Amino acid sequence: MSSNRAARLGEEIWKTRIDKVSAELVTLTYGTIVAQLCKDFDNDYIEVNKQLDRMGYNIGLRLIEDFLAKSNTMKRCSNFRETAEMIAKVGFKIFLNITPMVTNWTNDNKQFSLVFEENPLADFVELPDDGRAQDELWFSNIFCGVLRGALEMVQMQVEAHFISDILRGNDTTEMRVSLIRYIDDELPPEDD
């Protein structure tokens, strides 16, 4: 599916098939969760990152069905570039009404970056000023888990992590997504 078609599809679903809630509700709920995790794990931000990723993973496993049903997807993406377009222009669009930019492809077409120009999860947020959060906490790390879980359900094993975050003082918020392999559970063809 071309980039434009994906964008149009995302736009159309967003307009016609999505129930909307207040963005602030989402922002506040997510912020509370992260803050509570930080409290529960005594500001062990590495552990908080892990927990967020795990929560996202569990969301992704379920969310993918909703994505497939809403987008009425009948064919799977024929390559990873198409997958990236679908994630950015349909997935993020229909669930969060944002369209991160797909960029920085590697030559083997197995790794790309999502650059978030806006991020509803991070509105109003300032990271704790304890000298560590700025270096260790990936506030929106739940996204990584969601992508990992959702793609795993459609037979793609990926790895996703943030490499920069405006909250940390970087210029952009950028996530790196790498395809590890396609999980094809069919038996390999028998050789005679």
Partner 1 sequence: MIRICTEFALSGLLPSVLKEHFKSICDKEARTLTLLLTYTHTSHFTPFISACCIDKLTSFESRPDAGHLSAAQHQKAESHTSIHATIKLIASTTIAIVNMTVFTLIIINKAGGLIYNRTFQEGGLNKLSTNDYLVLAGTFHGVHAITTRLNPLKQSLSSPPSRSSIPPSSTTTGATSSTVPSRPEPPSGLEVLESENFRMQCFQTMTGTKFLLFTDTTQANVDLTIRRIYDLYCDYVMKNPFYQLEMPVRCDMFDRKLLSYVREINNR
Q: How many CB atoms lie within 10 A of CB 26?
A: 15
Q: Which one-letter DSSP state was computed for residue 18? A: -
Number of residues that bind partner 1 (CB under 8 A): 27
Span interacting with partner 1, options 28-36, 37-45, 79-87, 118-126, rule CB under 8 A: 79-87
> What would the x/- binding string for partner 1 be over residues 89 to 108, using CB under 8 A?
----------------xxxx
3-state helix, strand, coil in the chain (%, to 5): 50, 15, 35
Q: Which is nearer to partner 1, 17 or 46 (CB)?
A: 17
> According to CB under 8 A, which residues from 11 to 50 bind partner 1?
none
Closest CA relative to residue 57, chosen from 157, 178, 176, 172: 157
Strand 156-164 to 111-116 pairing: unpaired
Counting contacts by CB under 8 A, is residue 117 touching partner 1? no
CA dist., res. 53 & res. 181, Å (int): 20
C-beta of 80 vs 138, nearer to partner 1: 80
| Residues engaged in binding partner 1 (CB under 8 A) | 61-66, 68-70, 72-73, 75-81, 105-109, 153-154, 182, 186
